[in-house]
Amino acid sequence: MRKRCTRDAVAKRLAEAHYTVEPVIAEIFQLLAPGEQDAQREDEPIKLLEVNPDTPPVGIVPIEFGPDFRADIPYPSIIVEVAPDEYRRLKQRKLKLPNRWRIGRKFQRPSPRELAAR
């Protein structure tokens, strides 16, 4: 029986996969619900905020995904993709995230060496 991955490890893997699939993504951050600390609440989906210059500025539109057990992603996830100007407005508190979510840690883009090791 395979050991279940932590939400934190799966969130990092999802962010790295998105950086790889969409190299134009500028930054990816974890979104946290009220009371949530670093993706440790098992009852919360993994939430990512992706800053993408190719995304049209249409506001905050969370896209929900269920678990994908074949891809070893046992948690549901929510992706919010925003244009750079929308991200700037979020930081200035001129634009709000839903459900009192807040921006958490930034996921680093995987290095070519990390990608080659996979």
Residue with tokens 């989906």: 45
pLDDT of residue 111: 84
Q: Specify the DSSP element, H or E, that contains 88.
A: helix 84-91
pLDDT at 4 over 80: no
Residue 1: the pLDDT is 39
When comparing pLDDT for 84 and 41, which is higher?
84
Q: What is the pLDDT of residue 21?
A: 93
Contact 38, 108 (CB under 8 A): no
Specify the pLDDT at position 63: 97
The per-residue pLDDT of the chain, averaged, comes to 89
Higher pLDDT, 71 or 92: 92
pLDDT confidence band for 112 (50 / 70 / 90): confident
Sign of the alpha-carbon torsion through 68, 46, 98, 50: negative
How do residues 19-76 score in pLDDT, each as one tens digit?
A: 999 999 999 999 998 876 655 666 789 999 999 999 999 999 999 999 998 888 899 9
Q: What is the CATH number of domain 7-106?
A: 3.30.460
Would you call 30 exposed, middle or buried from its count of C-beta atoms within 10 A (0-12, 13-18, 19+)? buried
What are the extents of the domains in the chain? Answer: 7-106
